[in-house]
Amino acid sequence: MPEYTADEMMTIAAARMIRNGASCFVGIGLPSAAANLARLTHAPDTILIYESGCIGTKPTVLPLSIGDGELSETADAVVSIPEIFAYWLQGGRIDLGFLGAAQIDRFANINTTVIGDYYKPSVRLPGAGGAPEIAASSKEVLITLRQNKRAFIEKLDFVTSGGHFTGGDSRAKMNLPGKGPTAVITDLGIMTPDETTKELTLTSLHPGVTVEKAIESTGWALKVAPKLVTTEAPTETELRVLRDLNERTARAHAGQA
Amino acid sequence: MVRDGDVVALEGFTHLIPFAAGHEIIRQGRRDLTLIRMTPDLIYDQLIGSGCASKLIFSWGGNPGVGSLHRLRDAVEQGWPAPLALEENAHAGMAAAYAAGAAHLPFGLLRGYLGTDLPKYNRVKFIECPFTGERLAAVPAIRPDVTVIHAQKADRKGNVLMWGVVGVQKEAVLAAKRVIVTVEEIVDQLDAPPNAVVLPSWVVGAVSEVKGGAFPSYAQGYYPRNNAFYKQWDPIARERETFQAWMQRHVLGTRDFDEFKSSLEQAVTHA
């Protein structure tokens, strides 16, 4: 079996969640890596959409920013920012929103705004970007981030993008267009919301990771599914395609400023 | 054309960011500006760190793919070099606010801000659709005193052509009272394809040719985004002293964008 890192496992596990042919609104960073890996492996007909207005883009290297020239030059169409949000996202044309996060809580609500008091923050994070409307309007949402106690926390100081709010039917009552997060993919495993309570439950552990490790890397009492499964290890093809992509990207982003 | 106290938008969504014009605002020592931009990027880090701004209206303030804007964070967290008030939005809300500004409507409308804490801290209000009863977000229109953009081409009459990721520039231009455009080149014939994004000369106040004026962002068809510079900015901006030394050497100590770029090249050669 090939060797791999926890980050590679996370990206590959996230990529596998993308259905071929889905229209996928992609955030920068980990989601972008996973979505492009999916497109280069099992989901060649996935339509990747970036908030810079690039629709059906097929980059050969991962973009550093959400609007790199690589994205617009390989897109089926490039539209303006008002159009991408109004006609495409708000218009209900997105099957899957794919987000990263700085912090997340047990109901998959996301904070990317501030840690601490809003007016006197201890850490000022970048803010919302497109995420609140991606989280509200995509038919389904995937979230990917590294798992540790600073990121997986009991109570968010700020809800930037809504997941399942206070759990149960709280999202349904808000009449949001989409059904919200369906999975959170980390470097340790995969969590999915409980059908009734909507609380994130550990349903899959990556090979070699212990339940204890997942629990102690979570800032709340993490629920574990009775039928916990082990994530299938990365295949040689998945690893090769991901590493080639990362190498091409590193080469493209190096060079002199 | 930019005065102290103005509400100023420098737009360009990762592409065609008007860096040269932003540097000139810093050189002129403008103060008390309300800066508007969806993605503040490095140029607003430089403007804020240079003390030009008292307020920022924005929707995502980071160094894309790299990390924080350290000067923005220092202004918000420590009030250095001056306190910075924030009016914080989501992209969809800002796009609707610009579109309303372009249409000279009082507010923009969207199915947005649902389930986020942002409306507790900004001017978003919720209204009921008079036809269906749906709850929708209303955002006050953005009407800058001045909008500044960078584009690929203008002709000698001042008609401006841009392509690629066109962002929210058309809306930002039409929403503004005064408009400044820098371009990669001024040409005799624009040769714009039908339906291209063309800003007719009569909605543009001033056009200036600044080759490479969007560096380190990019101008499609001219030069790529300098991702290496975006990564190098992180250590430069992390500390106040290194930031100030860099600004003094490369922006305040140079007369224009050509000199700025030569000084960067010299720094690389001597490194």
Q: Give the rounded percent of residues in chain A with a pLDDT score beyond 70.
A: 98
Whether the per-residue pLDDT at A38 is higher than 90: the answer is: yes
CA dihedral A90, A91, A94, A99 (to 10 degrees): -10
How far off is chain B from A230, nearest CA to CA, in Å? 31
- Over residues B189-220, the pLDDT tens digits come to 999 988 888 999 999 999 999 999 999 999 99
CB contact under 8 A, B114 and A136: yes
DSSP state of B3: -
Q: What is the pLDDT of residue A29?
A: 85
Q: Vertex B9, ends B3 and B15: CA angle to 5°?
A: 135
Question: Are B236 and B205 in contact, with CB atoms under 8 Å apart?
Answer: no
State whether B13 and A78 contact (CB < 8 Å).
no
Query: Residue B269: its pLDDT value, please?
Result: 66
The shortest CB-CB distance from A257 to any of B95, B112, B232 is to: B232
- Kindly list the residues from chain A whose CB atom is less than 8 angstroms away from the CB atom of residue B95: 81-82, 85-86
Candidates A49, A73, A85: best to mutate against B (most CBs of B within 10 A) is A85
pLDDT tops 60 at residue B265: yes
Q: Where are the domains of chain B?
A: 7-88+144-252
Q: Which of A163-167, B129-133, B193-197, B239-243 bottoms out in mean pLDDT, i.e. has the lowest?
A: B193-197
This prediction's pTM: 0.96
Closest partner residue to A85 among B95, B220, B264, by Cβ?
B95
Report the chain A residue with the minimal C-alpha distance to residue B267: A257
Task: Please name the amino acid found at residue A217.
Answer: S
What is residue A25's predicted lDDT score, i.e. its pLDDT? 97
Name the band, by pLDDT with cuts 50, 70 and 90, for residue A257: low
| A6-187+236-253: CATH topology | Glutaconate Coenzyme A-transferase (3.40.1080)
Classify B88 as helix, strand or coil.
strand
The mean predicted confidence, pLDDT, of chain B is 96
3-class DSSP state of A126: coil
Give residue A65's pLDDT band: very low, low, confident or very high (50, 70, 90): confident
For the residues B179-188, what does the mean pLDDT come to? 98
Mean pLDDT score, A76-85: 97
> If pLDDT is split at 50, 70 and 90, which confidence band does A255 have?
low
Residues B155, A47: Cα–Cα separation, whole Å: 37
Beta carbons within 8 Å of A254's beta carbon, 6+ residues apart: B228
pLDDT at B267 > cutoff 90: no
The C-alpha atoms of residue B64 and residue A50 are separated, in whole angstroms, by 13
Spell out the residues 6+ positions from residue A113 whose beta carbon is closer than 8 angstroms to its own.
A125, A127, A128, A158, A160, B88, B117, B118
Average pLDDT taken over every residue of chain A: 96
Instruction: Please report the ipTM that was assigned to this predicted complex.
Output: 0.95
Task: With CB atoms and an 8 Å threshold, state whether B77 touches A52.
Answer: no
Q: Per the CB < 8 Å rule, is A127 touching B170?
A: no
> Quick one: pLDDT at residue B176?
98
Mean pLDDT score, B143-158? 98
Catalytic residue among A3, A8, A51, A195: A51
Interface contact A161-B116, CB threshold 8 A: yes
Is A51 annotated as catalytic? yes
DSSP-derived pairing of the beta strands B107-110 and B135-140:
antiparallel
Decide if A109 contacts A198 (C-beta within 8 A). Answer: no
pLDDT band at B270 (very low <50, low <70, confident <90, very high): low
Judge contact between A61 and A90, C-beta under 8 A.
no
Q: Residue A252 has what pLDDT?
A: 87
Place of tokens 């066109």: B166
For the domain B7-88+144-252, what is the CATH superfamily, name and number?
Glutaconate Coenzyme A-transferase (3.40.1080.10)
